[in-house]
Copies of this chain bind each other. A is one copy, B any other.
């Protein structure tokens, strides 16, 4: 097989002993809410599955349809509805509380069960002689939100995760409005937690989050809903992910100016309300570590942010099991520009 041309760009590198060990390629785009492309690199048009990056958009109907107010959902709950959480006790408690407000318990959830993504939380659960349940699933907050939405709108939640259920039909229409691209059976797949996921261009995903960031280009009720969700993410960044996680660490320091959300298979969005921008990234090989690194670089550049947390994620030492520094994980120089911190 001969050399091939690939239109993606270098996002991040792993080094060991001063030598490049691995490389991640992908695409990234920065849009403003008017639809102007502020920056693009790599293939930003081939449709990708946004996965969990769209969770904040999926939470908009919770506000616009009155579910958040009917059940007096606090900021932690609104944030958890936007989350891929680590299954730590605080996350589980909020998810359970959301459901309790509707009268349903976790048996109604259709996301499936897995042990907490947080290793310590898993060990603590096991040490306590307990088993994981659907509440520990990283999407349980989103799914609890679907239950709140169904109950608030007088719908039977049974099979709420199926594409034909009115809840998912609502999601498809809303996503189509917000991103300006179709969400139909033609581009639909199934996500890890059972609900549909629709493949769309990275540019459309970024546009959606430029609109979420600013309210520009959204209906008045969705703009107000987005503002409440931005506030919730800012008030409760721990809910969005958890201990030591990128989204939580970045938002703990930089929200409300910077809001981020990772998605499986190396997808990432960032919303920069003051700059009126949405950023979307896809690491083509699915590498989460590279999407985080690239996000830090683009947030630093286009958010004009000079923050330790971003510097950390743009370039950080890698340690072995003894805590010895053996290399680093760093943004591609071209991507980070003059924002790339000095090497160690």
User: B-contacting residues of A (Cβ < 8 Å)?
Assistant: 1, 3-10, 14, 16-19, 21-25, 41-42, 47-49, 110-115, 119, 122-124, 126-127, 129, 137, 187-194, 197, 199, 265-266, 283-287, 290, 320-324, 326-327, 334-335
Contact = CB atoms under 8 A, between A and B. Distances in A.
Contacts of A18: 189
A233 to B, nearest CB: 24
Top 10 nearest A-B pairs (CB, nearest first) are A17-B189, A112-B321, A22-B286, A123-B126, A16-B189, A285-B285, A126-B126, A1-B41, A112-B322, A190-B326
Contact of A321 (B5, B137, B284, B327): B137
Contacts of A112: 320-323
B16 A49 contact: yes
Contacts of A5: 3-6
A78 to B, nearest CB: 23
A23 to B, nearest CB: 5
A265 B54 CA distance: 29
Contacts of A284: 22-23
Nearest to A189: B17
A326 B192 contact: yes
B14 A4 contact: no
Given A126-B123, A285-B285, A326 B47 contact: no
B9 A6 contact: no
A176 to B, nearest CB: 17
A192 to B, nearest CB: 5
Given A1-B42, A284-B22, A284-B23, A192 B320 contact: yes
B22 A194 contact: no
A327 B9 contact: no
B115 A119 contact: yes
A265 B321 contact: no
A47 B21 CA distance: 9
A270 B284 CA distance: 27
